[in-house]
C-alpha cells in the first residue's frame, strides 16, 4: 500500500489513456509534422511509453493544429486537450492538468459527439485534479456531474456507479463534510454487494474508506472493525502481497489503541510487525512505525519490558537514518507526516505526528 493512492490514480489515468487514445501503429515523425493525426498519434504513443513531458508538448501542438485545421469545438480539439491533460496529470502537474481538462469539457464538440465515456473520464480526472489541489468544492461539483453522467449511462446499480459514489464520498471526507460523505460511502458498499463485486479490491477499499470516515468521526472501534475487514478482504484476493495487507491491518491496530482496546491492538500489531520484519530492506522506516505502534500496545497491556525494547529499536532506526539529534529526527518525521496525509493514510500520519512530538519536545521515553 506504500504510495498506493498516488499509484492507483496514476495507473487509472494510464488505463483511461489506453481506452481514450487506443493503440498506435507506424507513423511519421510527429515533431516535424504539421498533420494533426501524425502529431496526435505521436502524443499518445509518447504517453503510452510514459514519456510524459514529450506527450504533453505534442499534445499542445495537436491542440494548436486542431484549432487551425478543424476549428474550435471540434472533437479533435477535445481529444488533444485530453491527452495533454493526462500527460500533465501523470507528472502530478495538477493545475496544468486541470486547465487542460477544463478546456476539453468546454468544447461544444464533446456534448455533440454523444460520447458519454469520454465526458465521464474527463470530468472524473478534472475532479481528481481539484482534489489534489485542495479545491474541494470544485471537486465536489465535478464528481456530482460525473455521478449524473454515470447514472444516466450505466444505471444506479452498476460498478461504475459504485466508483463514482466513492469519488464523491472521498472528496466530502477530505473536505471534512462527513455527514455528506457517509451516505455515499454506505451506498457504494451496497451497490458493490448488489452487483456481485464482494470479492474484489473495490469492495476492500470501500471498507477502508468507511474506516477512514469513522476515524474522522471519532468512532474508533467502528473504524478498527472496518480497517480489519478491509485487510481481511484484501488478503483473499489472489496476487495481493502480505505487505499491502499488513498496511491495512496497521490501521486497525492503531484504531484499537485509540479505542483503549490494548489487547486487540497488540494481536493485530504483532502480526503486522512480523510481516514488516520479513521485508525490512524494502520497507525501511515503515518498519519503525509498526514497531512504535506495537510498543504503545504493549505498554497499554502492561508489557513494559517489551515496550521498552521496541522503543529502543525504533529510536535506533531513526538515529541510524537521521542522526542523533532529536530535533532533526522530529523535523524529518514531520515531512513523513505530510507525505502520509497526501496518500490518504491519515491514521498513520496522526500517529506519527504524535510520536514525533516526543523528539521535538525532548520528551523521548526510553
DSSP state of 92: T
**pLDDT at residue 19, as a whole number:** 47
CA separation for the pair 323, 63 (Å, rounded): 51
> What sign results for the dihedral spanned by CA atoms 134, 136, 141, 142?
positive
CA separation for the pair 123, 104 (Å, rounded): 10
**pLDDT at residue 362, as a whole number:** 62
Q: What whole-number percentage of the chain has pLDDT above 70?
A: 91
**pLDDT at residue 361, as a whole number:** 66
DSSP labels for 196-223?
T-SSSHHHHHHHHHHHHHHHHTT-HHHH
**pLDDT at residue 2, as a whole number:** 31
DSSP state of 133: T
Global pTM value: 0.83
| Residue 177 phi, psi dihedral angles, 5° rounding | -95, 70
Q: How far apart are the first and last CA of the chain?
A: 30
**pLDDT at residue 355, as a whole number:** 86
Average pLDDT of 114-135? 92
**pLDDT at residue 72, as a whole number:** 87
CA separation for the pair 230, 247 (Å, rounded): 10
Average pLDDT of 304-310? 96
C-alpha cell at 244: 499491502
Reported as a single tens digit per residue, the pLDDT across 17-75 is 444 544 444 445 788 788 999 999 999 999 999 999 999 999 999 999 999 999 988 99
Is 60 exceeded by the pLDDT of residue 95? yes
**3-state secondary structure string, 246-307?**
HHHHHHHHHHHHHCCCHHHHHHHHHHHHHHHHCCHHHHCCHHHHHHHHHHHHHHHCCCHHHH
**Looking at domain 243-366, which CATH architecture does it have?**
Alpha Horseshoe (1.25)
Reported as a single tens digit per residue, the pLDDT across 229-288 is 999 999 999 888 999 999 999 999 999 999 999 999 999 999 999 999 999 999 999 999
C-alpha cell at 225: 472493525
Is 90 exceeded by the pLDDT of residue 357? no
Closest to 243 in 3D by CA, of 274, 270, 267, 265: 274
C-alpha cell at 79: 481529444
**CB neighbour burial string for 27-52, b if at least 16 within 10 angstroms, e if fewer:** eeebeebeebebbbbbbbbbbbeeeb
Reported as a single tens digit per residue, the pLDDT across 160-202 is 999 999 999 999 999 999 999 999 999 999 999 999 989 889 9
Average pLDDT of 287-314? 96
Amino acid at each position: 500500500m506504500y504510495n498506493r493512492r498516488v499509484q492507483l490514480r496514476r495507473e487509472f489515468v494510464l488505463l483511461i489513456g489506453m481506452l481514450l487514445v487506443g493503440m498506435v501503429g507506424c507513423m511519421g515523425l510527429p515533431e516535424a509534422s504539421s498533420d494533426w493525426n501524425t502529431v496526435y498519434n505521436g502524443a499518445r504513443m509518447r504517453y503510452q511509453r510514459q514519456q510524459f513531458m514529450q506527450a504533453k508538448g505534442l499534445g499542445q501542438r495537436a491542440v494548436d493544429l486542431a484549432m487551425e485545421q478543424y476549428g474550435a469545438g471540434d472533437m479533435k480539439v477535445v481529444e488533444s486537450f485530453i491527452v495533454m491533460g493526462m500527460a500533465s496529470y501523470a507528472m502530478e502537474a495538477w493545475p496544468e492538468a486541470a486547465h487542460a481538462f477544463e478546456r476539453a469539457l468546454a468544447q461544444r464538440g464533446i456534448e455533440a459527439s454523444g460520447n458519454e465515456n469520454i465526458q465521464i473520464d474527463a470530468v472524473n480526472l478534472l475532479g481528481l485534479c481539484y482534489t489534489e489541489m485542495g479545491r474541494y468544492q470544485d471537486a465536489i461539483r465535478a464528481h456530482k456531474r460525473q455521478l449524473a453522467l454515470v447514472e444516466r449511462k450505466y444505471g444506479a446499480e452498476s460498478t461504475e456507479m459504485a466508483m463514482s459514489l466513492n469519488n464523491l464520498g472521498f472528496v466530502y471526507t477530505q473536505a471534512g463534510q462527513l455527514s455528506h460523505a457517509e451516505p455515499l460511502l454506505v451506498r457504494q458498499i451496497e451497490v458493490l454487494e448488489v452487483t456481485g463485486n464482494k470479492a474484489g479490491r473495490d469492495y476492500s477499499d470501500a471498507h477502508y474508506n468507511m474506516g477512514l470516515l469513522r476515524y474522522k468521526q471519532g468512532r474508533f472501534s467502528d473504524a478498527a472493525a472496518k480497517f480489519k475487514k478491509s485487510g481481511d478482504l484484501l488478503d483473499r484476493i489472489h496476487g495481493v502481497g502480505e505487505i499491502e495487507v499488513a498496511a491495512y491491518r496497521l490501521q486497525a491496530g492503531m484504531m484499537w489503541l485509540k479505542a483503549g482496546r490494548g489487547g486487540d491492538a497488540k494481536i493485530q500489531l504483532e502480526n503486522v510487525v512480523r510481516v514488516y520484519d520479513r521485508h525490512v530492506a524494502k520497507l525501511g522506516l515503515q518498519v519503525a512505525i509498526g514497531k512504535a505502534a506495537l510498543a504503545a500496545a504493549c505498554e497499554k497491556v502492561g508489557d513494559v519490558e517489551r515496550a521498552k525494547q521496541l522503543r529502543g529499536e525504533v529510536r535506533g532506526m531513526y538515529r541510524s537514518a537521521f542522526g542523533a539529534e532529536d530535533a532533526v529526527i522530529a523535523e524529518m518525521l514531520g515531512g513523513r507526516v505530510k507525505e502520509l496525509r497526501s496518500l490518504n493514510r491519515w491514521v498513520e500520519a496522526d500517529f506519527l505526528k504524535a510520536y514525533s512530538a516526543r523528539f521535538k519536545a525532548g520528551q523521548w521515553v526510553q
